[in-house]
Amino acid sequence: MSATSGSETTVQTSVDVLIVGAGPVGLFGAYYAGVRGLSTAVLDSLPEPGGQITAMYPEKAIFDVAGFPAIRGRELVENLIAQAAPFSPAYLLGQQAVGLERGDGFVVTTSAGARVHARAVIVTGGIGTFTPRPLPTGEELLGHGVVHFVPDPQEYRGLDVVIVGGGDSAVDWALLLEPIAKSVAVVHRRASFRAHPHSVEVMQASSIRIVTDAQIRAVVGDPVTGVDVSVAGEVESLPCDRLVAALGFIANLGPLLEWGLHIEQKRHIVVSTTMASSVPGLYAAGDICEYEGKVRLIATGFGEVATAVNNAFAYLDPTASIFPGHLSDYAPPGAIGSPGTPTTTHPGEPSPVRMSAPA
């Protein structure tokens, strides 16, 4: 609903639980909150749900989700949205969480001027707001052949591609584009790569050209037609239709640093075993949270957000059990696993839950 004051209109939303972050962990949290009968809103600064997966590698295969030998990022996000859809979470996208007011619950204000009233808050913001590290040269050609992300690999078909970087994103994109592009070269300023060793081995056995101990000296053309690379004091020219800058990101928790939370190194919200932060009623899960023995994986985040939701439920109702019971008892009518329906789909059958686009 919206409340009007003078000539200004402020959008106001009132829910049991506000989830800050619409990545995979936040989307699974929306499902789990629905299972516990909690009204939910999901807030994210990006214009689409899915977080870094949607923004950076929707076509990349993900291997650490239980039950899936491999699943494309885009499919994982679509499945998570479909899983939460029967519980109708509200999606507040394209706006950042800014202010936090405490009182009878919480009021979170957004960069778009909205006010979200929530009885509990769960932060699943990943690494926070992430800004790609710029190229030392050629950044002015961003959008003219220079890019930071590869959301649609098919756009690179038949092109000469140069990727700058030595981390997982650089190597993963190189492997993804090798069978599609005309040529792929990876330029890295060191001899060794930070990417997963197996991925590096696969890249070394492929047709990808690997140029190490090298720097991009100049970007040629507008739009880009080539790059000059400095290697051991010599300059070599490489054909290039797309220059992918995969140099990592500068992460920033932004306004969350002012919320009165216990935050380590301005990066991670410290939580207990219940995923509770230092602020009662405010929880965190996924890459953004920190505790002893923390392992940053999507698989870990799914368990953390389930723990956060169930403990938030007990926080809101101290007489309630943290344990949710058997989730088959909550299956929406007609859904997989509900009474009278099969427990699995068969290859070629449509999903029993139709995904609707978030508002």
Q: Tens of pLDDT along 67-106?
A: 999 998 889 999 999 999 999 999 999 899 999 999 999 9
Annotated binding site: 44, 52, 57, 97, 130, 287, 328
User: Which H/E stretch holds residue 93?
Assistant: strand 90-93
Domain formed by 134-247, architecture = 3-Layer(bba) Sandwich (3.50)
DSSP string of 162-202, one letter each residue: EEE--SHHHHHHHHHHTTTSSEEEEE-SSSS--S-HHHHHH
Question: Quick one: tokens of 181?
Answer: 């592009």
Q: Return d(Cα 236, Cα 336) in angstroms, integer.
A: 58
**331 φ, ψ (degrees, to nearest 5):** -60, 130
Using CA atoms, how far apart are residues 30 and 26, in angstroms rounded to an integer?
6
pLDDT number for residue 62: 87
> Can you give the pLDDT at residue 4?
32
Delimit the domains of the chain by residue range: 2-130+250-330, 134-247
Q: Does domain 2-130+250-330 have CATH number 3.30.1510.10?
A: no
Which residues does the chain have with pLDDT short of 70?
1-10, 128-130, 251, 327-359
Residues 165 and 189 sit within 8 Å (Cβ to Cβ): no
2-130+250-330 and 134-247: identical CATH topology = yes
pLDDT value of position 353: 31
- The CA-CA-CA angle for residues 162, 166, 167, to 5°, reads 115
The first and second tokens of residue 265, run together, are 């190194």
In order of 13, 186, 324, the CA distances from 24 in angstroms are 22, 29, 21
- Identify residue 33 by its one-letter amino acid code: A
Taking the C-alpha atoms of residue 15 and residue 42, their distance in angstroms, rounded to an integer, is 10
> Residue 130 has what pLDDT?
67
Identify the three-state secondary structure at position 231. strand
Binding positions for FAD: 44, 52, 57, 97, 130, 287, 328
Residue type, 138: G
Q: What is the pLDDT of residue 344?
A: 45
Helices (H), 178-276: 197-204
Residue type, 28: F
Tokens 């999606």 belong to residue: 91
